[in-house]
Amino acid sequence: MRTFVAVAEAGSVSGAARELYVTQSAVTRRLQRLETEIGAPLLDRRTRPVSLTGPGQVVLERCRRLLNDFREVRAAAANGHLPIEEVKIGVAHALTELTLSEPIEEVRRKYPKVALRLLTGWSHDLLERVRSGALDAAVILLAEGEKLPAGVNGKQVGKEQLLLVAPRNGASRPRKLQDLSGANWILNPEGCAAREALRRTLRRANIDMVVAVETYNYELQMALVARNRGFSLTPERILTRSRCKSSLRVVRLPGLNFPLTIWAVERQPCAGLGAVITELSRALMEKL
């Protein structure tokens, strides 16, 4: 089951073999045995990357649950002491702008037997991975008032505010939403919830969103804004630490407001692992 999950997540037999430190033929034999026991093909091997069959989609989620249950049994058998484990934690892109090295090292010092595996991504994608069991936990950003889906536990650990930034000496000084018509935008790539929220806000005002530059890096976004290449949405926390801060100004417009909340979420309480997740969340928020 662990091998099947590894293949599904890696998208290939070779990727799973590297992840598990075994040969590709060993991965193939394990998959064949699992499919024989279940009585149905789990992978469509004709596609690249390999894709799951209908039964494979169902079996994948059940395997993740069973592996998680087995891990909890091991933790219980260890009388509450954490066994040697790998903990998979997702972190939203916007929360990785400041270094993660210090929070990770704090957790490693406190829990030396735990191997941390971090994945960055968009908040809603990470939330779905937590819900499905692909991740143990995640630190994400959600719109203020947005609820967690069923099957996911979490708590708010902070707040964030997205700000509309413009060049300090730019000729364009919008005073209302309609003044943004025809403006160029420097934004995160597709998949960013804030970008989609901006698109919806502009669409309601009959304004097309023209994206001039896409980049994950907020510092690069702000540098381009400072050079009068367009407008951007930037987390207040990142703006206050930016080298470009003196060359930018915050524009506040009625109807353009994006308050966010920072959440630490997990699929379900994980025996023995909850303390690790809590410690990483604490250290990350202290750093932020």
Query: Using one digit for the tens of pLDDT, what is the confidence trace for 173-219?
Result: 888 999 999 999 999 998 888 898 899 999 999 999 999 999 988 99
Give the contacts of 164 (CB within 8 A, at least 6 positions apart).
Answer: 231, 232, 233, 250, 251, 252, 253, 256
pLDDT at 180: 92
Which domains are present in the chain? 1-69 (1.10.10.10), 160-260 (3.40.190.10)
| CB neighbourhood size of 172 (10 A) | 14
Residues of the chain below pLDDT 70: 72, 75-85, 97-99, 268-273
pTM: 0.70
Say how far apart CA 6 and CA 20 lie, in whole Å: 8
DSSP 283: H
